[in-house]
Amino acid sequence: MSSLEIAELAGRNHKDVMRSIREMEPAWLKVCGRNFALTSKNVEMPNGGFKETPCYELGYQECMYIASKFNDETRAKLVVRWSDLETGKADSVYQVPSSFSAALMLAAQQQLQIEEQQKQISCMSTEIIEMKKKTDYLEVILSSKGTVTTTQIAQDYGMSAKAFNKVLFDLKIQHKVNGQWILYAPHVSKGYVHSKTVNITHKDGRPDTVLNTEWTQRGRIFLYEKLKAVDILPLIEQSVMDSAS
């Protein structure tokens, strides 16, 4: 509902309603983390013609918050108005255009609103694709049990283990100590990796053991977030991007 409609229902000057909304906006921003949506509408003037008038577009909760500034009768009118809007019973607060020029202006305004809605839908589609990409790979991670090797994770990204380890080294995630890849200090206590002892046999027949670093599922998610931040995506997400484009 626009502040123009609220002023109409309240029987108040629109400038006064706008001032009241501006005074209440800081508290709303502090609690909800967002400002009221400021826009403008072409309003038909009493002496003919139209004037571009700044106004607020408010959702239900925002209207109920603003209504606390008004008396009981006005609050009741706002509640009834919202009920009519939700059930499709509401008629427009404004009169049907009385002239051809007024109708053209209204049509232009409606077209602008449609274009804005299309932009919002496009943005939502992009967000949904991003959520789908993330969900697909995280489902793969969370469905896995136990630890996985670097080679296995590297394959998710279409890399060899050597190339993948180099990427993690460049990102200051790990470094090599005595032949084993070790996490840098800030990551050591996070439960991202597990050292596994592997039995080996040297060329001269001597038995020995080495430590290999394996990644926990928490570690895989950590790597996913770090790599995505530098635009390195797993193959499953690359395929989603390709299909979307």
pLDDT digits (tens, 9 = 90+) for 219-233: 888 999 999 899 998
**Contact (CB, 8 A) for 82 and 33:** no
196 domain-assigned: yes
* DSSP string across 152-190: HHHHHTT--HHHHHHHHHHTTSEEEETTEEEE-HHHHTT
Tally of domains within the chain: 2
Expressed as residue numbers, the domain containing 51 is 3-95
Q: Quick one: pLDDT at residue 128? A: 46
**Model confidence at 155: pLDDT above 80:** yes
**Model confidence at 131: pLDDT above 60:** no
116 domain-assigned: no
Arithmetic mean of pLDDT, 122-150: 59
Q: What share of the chain is helix, strand, coil (3-state, %, to 5)?
A: 60, 20, 25
Asked whether residue 145 falls in the same domain as residue 88, the answer is no
Question: What are 20-71's pLDDT values in tens digits?
Answer: 999 998 888 888 888 898 888 877 777 767 788 889 998 888 888 888 888 8
CA nearest neighbour of 217 among 183, 197, 236, 190: 190
R_g of the chain, CA atoms, integer Å: 30
Q: Quick one: pLDDT at residue 238? A: 74
Domain boundary among 27, 60, 95: 95
DSSP at 47: T
Asked whether residue 151 falls in the same domain as residue 237, the answer is yes
**Model confidence at 98: pLDDT above 80:** no
pTM (2 d.p.): 0.41
